[in-house]
Amino acid sequence: MKPSMMRSACQLLRRRSYSSTSGQPERKVAILGAAGGIGQPLALLMKLNPLVSSLSLYDIAGTPGVAADISHINTPALAKGFMGEDQLKEALEGSDVVIIPAGVPRKPGMTRDDLFNINAGIVKNLATAIAKYCPNALVNMISNPVNSTVPIAAEVFKKAGTYDEKRLFGVTTLDVVRAKTFYAGKANVPVTDVNVPVVGGHAGITILPLFSQATPATNALSHEDIKALTKRTQDGGTEVVEAKAGKGSATLSMAYAGAVFADACLKGLNGVPDIVECSYVQSTVTELPFFASKVKLGKNGVEEVLGLGELSDFEKEGLENLKGELKSSIEKGIKFANEN
């Protein structure tokens, strides 16, 4: 190639990469609970995400410091802190994705449901503000118990007349992250190649990893191995709660999982094809109104809720066993939202 042709080819390439960057839609992401154990590392990861142009960090305390710190990182996302309810409007307005890790975490001996009394009220208030200030945002609910907080948010949005089932997600990505890690270790396959769907809900036995569909497939695992992997995935959160011995629950792995899920939502919004993640959403996959399964993400949020695929007998049994608990957690959330 002549040097002049080479130069114009390089210029074209430069122009293309420049125009594809500037042509990317501006995206605002808000994190509610941004000064917490999950909120801070999640804020860091979202500040590093090139799809984010504006990062809004909201909490009832501590966000000026977190925002000042994060805003010095030389990535394009513009980070701003907001503290207290009178700044919630500004924090939320114009948001494309709102991530909610606000609320108290577990201590040893507690179940996720024990958090209900405190977190249900927090989620209800935040959902009310979302309905008012950014009703079109995709909501990524991290606050536990997710099995109930998602139905609470749905009820609040219904009452406000803003509910769109395509835009409300319970974040169950950490269950998938754990299932992938534990499977890779046991099956001795490269962890970055592993995929494992996790369905059901996000607490104890409602977490149902489908190791029969794990890829790369292996026949190195016995039924006992699968049972043990399933139990470890279901108890993964408790493993961390006990190891932290009173200092909270998973924060770093949760921030990673939250960032993976928010990135998938942003890619879907931007029209990137074939984005699929497991999430706890309004569903007709089973008779339960909310259920986690693989979800295809698109320009409006949920594009398609995918079915369960073929289950092993062990998974079929797990599915039947989880329905009672999941049903009552959903009903508890709906009741709370309508009575309080």
- Beta carbon of residue 93, minimum distance to ligand NAD (angstroms, whole number): 16
Residue 253's closest CA among 272, 274, 239?
Answer: 239
Interface region with ligand NAD, contact rule CB under 6 A, candidates 12-20, 75-83, 138-146, 326-334: 138-146
Instruction: Give the catalytic positions in this structure.
Output: 202
- Beta carbon of residue 80, minimum distance to ligand NAD (angstroms, whole number): 15
- Alpha carbon distances (Å) from 126 to 100, 237, 251: 8, 24, 21
Known binder of ligand: residue 62? no
Neighbours of 337 (CB within 10 A): 23
CA-to-CA distance for 296 and 338, rounded, in angstroms? 30
Known binder of ligand: residue 119? yes
Known binder of ligand: residue 36? yes
Interface region with ligand NAD, contact rule CB under 6 A, candidates 65-73, 89-97, 249-257, 307-315: 249-257
Known binder of ligand: residue 300? no
CA-to-CA distance for 323 and 329, rounded, in angstroms? 10
What is the pattern of x (binds ligand NAD, CB under 6 A) and - over residues 162-191? ---------x--x-----------------
- Beta carbon of residue 26, minimum distance to ligand NAD (angstroms, whole number): 24
Backbone angles phi, psi at 134, to 5 degrees: -150, 65
The answer to whether 293 and 199 have CB atoms below 8 angstroms apart is yes
Kindly calculate the radius of gyration of the chain based on its CA atoms and give it in whole angstroms: 21
129 counts as binding ligand NAD under rule CB under 6 A: no
Residue type at position 52:
V
**Beta 275-282 vs 290-298: how paired, if at all?**
antiparallel
Known binder of ligand: residue 109? no
Interface region with ligand NAD, contact rule CB under 6 A, candidates 70-78, 103-111, 262-270, 283-291: 103-111
CA-to-CA distance for 86 and 181, rounded, in angstroms? 42
143 counts as binding ligand NAD under rule CB under 6 A: yes
CA-to-CA distance for 235 and 241, rounded, in angstroms? 10
- Beta carbon of residue 104, minimum distance to ligand NAD (angstroms, whole number): 6
Which residue lies nearer to ligand NAD by CB, 146 or 179? 146
Three-state SS for 86? helix
Residues contributing to the site for ligand NAD (CB under 6 A): 32-33, 35-39, 59-61, 101-106, 115, 119, 122, 125-126, 142-144, 146, 171, 174, 202, 248-251, 254
